[in-house]
Structure 1
Amino acid sequence: MSSAPTASVTARGETVAVGTANADAADDPAIWRNPANPAASLIVGTDKKAGLHVYDMQGADRSFLDAGAVNNVDLRDMGEKGIVVAVSDRNDLLASKLAMFTLDPTTATLKPMGKIASGAGEAYGVCLYRAPAALYAFMVLKDGTINQIELDLSGASHTGRIVRTMKLATQSEGCAVDERTGRLYVAEEDVGLWRFDAAPDGPVAPVRIAAADGHQIVADAEGVAVVPEGDRGGYVVVSSQGDNAYALYRLDDESYVGRFRIAAGTIGAVEETDGIDIVAGDFGPGYPAGLMVAQDGINPPRAQNFKLVSWADVKQALGLQ
């Protein structure tokens, strides 16, 4: 347990529990913000034992797709090419796959768009990077290998090719990209938070932003989310799973900001968080300045689920507004 000052917020909503009971099953969320009707936004969440759920802003389970063992998820709204959803597929522990889908916002359903080979080893973390010239996926294998995949969305199914490989020394998972600066952030679970250049022709050496030192981050370092503000401002947020908290760092100078927990209120507390996602902007009356979704590893008497938190509440608790 860290001795660092840690603020508290409470969740304003929660999803229906995943279908796999009595197991570590819920893992990672990805948020799609509906620009025309923010209150009709959607959340894609993984049950890593069974498949993919699509939830609405009230936490209702709008659809489920049996996809087997899937771990992390990310998405991008690509306009005419649809809402692209990428998932780390670990059905074959020796040969990772990137499972691709499109999200239909009207029906809240996922359409499979094929699988892409993403390197030898167990698929674990995944995040997308929309660069000016292409859409990329970063597949974080369980052993710390990170493969960058250039995606081709032009066909009836999505395809891609590995264009670069990077490496962290030990088990790694959560990742997110600041698309303004082309910086990739990856959590190495027992070590801390690292930054890479996300450009396909960039250097492959990592820079450590924060250590899992038992103070700012208590191992495991798990989910990672990037929340841009303005030209270079905003925050990168890391799940400090070892003491049920989250650590914030500024994106402009990567300095430490503070920590917070999601405590019990009208809705229960959040513990042992794996994946997180945070998107700024209007999400309706309950989330006027942004939405944070966090996997909840302990949710008795039900199975694991995802909690919904107002990003404005987090910023207020940390004195950031």
Structure 2
Amino acid sequence: MRRTLAFTIAGALLVAGSPAHAGGHPDRPVTASAETPALFDDEAGGDADADDPAIWVHPGDRGRSLIVGTAKNGGLRVYDLAGRELQSIPAGDGGRFNNVDITRGNLVVLTDRGRDQLRFFRINPRTLRLTDVTVAHPPLLFSKDEEEVEGQATGYGLATYGNLAVVSRRHTTRLGFFEIRDHGGQVSYVRRETLDLPRTFTLKDGSSWTPCGDPGEDPQVEGMVVDAKARVLYAAQEDVGLWRIDLRTKKKHVVEYVAEFGAPYDADCTLTGPGQGGRIHADVEGATIYEDYLLVSSQGDSRFFVYDRRTNAPITSFAVTDGPRIDGVQHSDGSAATSAALPGYPRGLLVVHDGENTPDEGRVSTNFKYVDWRRLGLRP
């Protein structure tokens, strides 16, 4: 999530509007069933800032399934299905854990944006503990040397599929495709190819438009998910829209532009006119798949949009609102879903990042919320 010089959300809502419904249906308010403990992004809280979750389904006892979530400088957190913390793994000196995914059964993969590397952890299904299995000296993802790493145009978003890890580069439009490799019980990777998304776009009137950002920073991608059935990558270019990319041919097209797409802006990145995009308010984030559904986070107005996974036709939208015990979700970044029947979640589970957890004890607080799929009113 870009926090500097992003579109001013209040201005975006004034000029683009905030639609009350999507796909012809009103937003469905849903509440969370559980949440994880608050993480505090300050010295006392270990600079922990929740960002992206992944769900691991236990192969023998689904009641022992886990939620793994990144906490940036605060490292990695492991939770049970009740939201209780089971393990905290520090990021280490210079580490900043950004996005996480799980592949090959029990291999946790994450982007260490502080070091421009991938890190790997193996889940032990008996003890439920994660063990670091990264090779001693993993290669840099994008930077040519450690001096370039200091500029932090490093590995950012992540999606995995088998031995493939797709990684976005922060502050750029670049995606890297990496092969995950085993090395005598440890794990490393090698870059196979890259793909650059556009940074400048031609509008209907023939003019060129580039999203506003800091000098030298292009519109980046963070939220990503691979549709394994179709061999398709969905990549959320934060201030542009949601891309559908064929992993075999690399052909791509936009599923939906953000509402602010094409809008004029002033020197402070405040919108000064209407956009030409769709319903999502920048940033577009948190892409995940549940059976035949594709979900994305409309971070700017704290909503979620649901599409048909096969046709990408819009289906519905929803917001996670305050419940009797658990607060709602604002400005959600990462998300993860599973259709596996779990205790308390017989039709599956959706886990989403909450960027403004409350009560926050007067400090910046984030966490993860668990949503029972039945509450979305969508067939499994």
Q: Same fold (TM over 0.5)?
A: yes
* Contact residue 24 and residue 297 of structure 1 kept, 8 A: no
* Contact residue 40 and residue 48 of structure 2 kept, 8 A: no
Task: From the superposition, tell whether residues 24 and 53 of structure 1 become closer, same or farther in structure 2 (CA, over 3 Å).
Answer: closer
Alignment of 1:308 with 2:370, yes or no, is yes
Determine which of 22, 38, 44 is the counterpart of 1:17: 38
Alignment of 1:140 with 2:160, yes or no, is no
Structure 1: gaps of 5 or more residues: 229-233
**Residue 141 of structure 2 corresponds to which residue in structure 1?**
118
SS in 2 for 1:148: strand
**Residue 335 of structure 2 corresponds to which residue in structure 1?**
276
Alignment of 1:160 with 2:189, yes or no, is yes
Alignment of 1:64 with 2:88, yes or no, is yes
SS in 2 for 1:158: strand
- Pick which of 99-108 and 20-29 moved more: 20-29
After superposition, give the CA deviation of every residue in 1:3-39 in whole Å (9 maximum; x if it has no partner): 1411110000001123544878110000001242222
TM-score normalised per structure 1: 0.88
**Residue 180 of structure 1 corresponds to which residue in structure 2?**
229
**Residue 89 of structure 1 corresponds to which residue in structure 2?**
112
Q: CA deviation at 1:49?
A: 1.7
SS in 2 for 1:119: coil
For the residues of structure 2 that align with 1:35 and 1:227, how far apart are their CA atoms?
A: 19
- Cα RMSD of the aligned pairs, angstroms, is 1.8
- Specify which structure has the higher proportion of strand: 1
SS in 1 for 2:142: strand
Q: CA deviation at 1:173?
A: 0.3
For the residues of structure 2 that align with 1:281 and 1:14, how far apart are their CA atoms?
A: 19
Determine which of 43, 47, 59 is the counterpart of 2:71: 47
**Residue 121 of structure 2 corresponds to which residue in structure 1?**
101
For the residues of structure 1 that align with 2:338 and 2:194, how far apart are their CA atoms?
A: 28
Determine which of 223, 246, 253 is the counterpart of 1:197: 246
Question: Which amino acid is the alignment partner of residue 210 of structure 1?
Answer: E
Alignment of 1:208 with 2:270, yes or no, is no
Question: Which amino acid is the alignment partner of residue 49 of structure 2?
Answer: A
Q: Number of residues paired by the alignment? A: 298
SS in 2 for 1:313: helix
**Residue 161 of structure 2 corresponds to which residue in structure 1?**
129
Q: Percent of pairs identical after alignment?
A: 34
For the residues of structure 1 that align with 2:140 and 2:51, how far apart are their CA atoms?
A: 22
For the residues of structure 2 that align with 1:157 and 1:33, how far apart are their CA atoms?
A: 22
Task: From the superposition, tell whether residues 20 and 104 of structure 1 become closer, same or farther in structure 2 (CA, over 3 Å).
Answer: farther
**Residue 231 of structure 1 corresponds to which residue in structure 2?**
none
Structure 1 moving runs of 4+ over 3 Å: 19-24
Question: Which amino acid is the alignment partner of residue 240 of structure 1?
Answer: S
**Residue 227 of structure 1 corresponds to which residue in structure 2?**
290
For the residues of structure 2 that align with 1:279 and 1:260, how far apart are their CA atoms?
A: 18
Q: CA deviation at 1:112?
A: 1.2
* Contact residue 48 and residue 74 of structure 2 kept, 8 A: no
Structure 2: gaps of 5 or more residues: 1-12, 22-26, 144-152, 200-218, 261-277
Question: Which amino acid is the alignment partner of residue 129 of structure 1?
Answer: Y
Determine which of 244, 258, 268 is the counterpart of 2:316: 258
Question: Which amino acid is the alignment partner of residue 150 of structure 1?
Answer: E
* Contact residue 257 and residue 280 of structure 2 kept, 8 A: yes
SS in 2 for 1:118: coil
* Contact residue 141 and residue 154 of structure 2 kept, 8 A: no
SS in 2 for 1:194: strand
SS in 2 for 1:268: coil
For the residues of structure 1 that align with 2:187 and 2:48, how far apart are their CA atoms?
A: 30
For the residues of structure 1 that align with 2:279 and 2:246, how far apart are their CA atoms?
A: 24
For the residues of structure 2 that align with 1:75 and 1:224, how far apart are their CA atoms?
A: 15
Query: Which protein has the larger Cα radius of gyration, Structure 1 or Structure 2?
Result: 2
For the residues of structure 2 that align with 1:293 and 1:161, how far apart are their CA atoms?
A: 30
For the residues of structure 2 that align with 1:257 and 1:50, how far apart are their CA atoms?
A: 36
* Contact residue 20 and residue 47 of structure 1 kept, 8 A: no
